[in-house]
Amino acid sequence: MSTSGYSDRINHALAFAAKHHDQQVRKGTRLPYLTHPANVAIILTRYGQDDDTIIAGILHDVIEDTVREAYSREMLVQRIREKFGEEVLQTVLQVTHRNADDDGVELSPADRKADYLERLSEASERARWVCAADKLHNAASMVADLRRTFDPGSVWGRFKLGKEGTVRWYRDVHTRLASLGFSAAIMGELGATVDELESLARAS
């Protein structure tokens, strides 16, 4: 598998994500939210993934995080399908947290995470790559922030799950991917990053 690391479709996806994540920032920071999907794209490019995987990485939070008055979930689904194709859309949907199950029953925050982990069993290899890159960037960002700060509580306080719950979530995702036989090279980096996050959590 090879990729140029740049294409008109990737540029289009970045513009699309920038539009839909406009005014959003990363938790507890002033960084534009777009820095996250852009870094996910860089990670996927570094591991030699193809354009559709990189584009799905750029768009992976659009449906989950940008539903608002102007755009319903159905509208966003249709826009992604029309602009980037069915393969990209299905990959994005496979790594999107759901608010309700197949029967329309609303999911609690804990149930949403359990549902996400369960659905990884039916996710494509491409979706598992996007999942791993997403979690790698998030965990690595926390590690970097924890190394820089004199107040670890200010970092852990950004997350509703708290310190223990946040670390457990990233460990659970890594464990789940491994249990499904996803043994791509990125798993070593993700595992090492989660190990470091756990170590910093114990020390803080």
* Contact by Cβ (8 Å): 117, 173: yes
Q: Is 181 left (phi over 0), alpha (psi -120 to 50) or beta?
A: left
Catalytic machinery residues: 64-65
CA dist 103 → 99, 100, 106, 109, 195 (Å):
11, 8, 9, 17, 37
Q: What's the one-letter identity of residue 82?
A: E
* Contact by Cβ (8 Å): 92, 60: yes
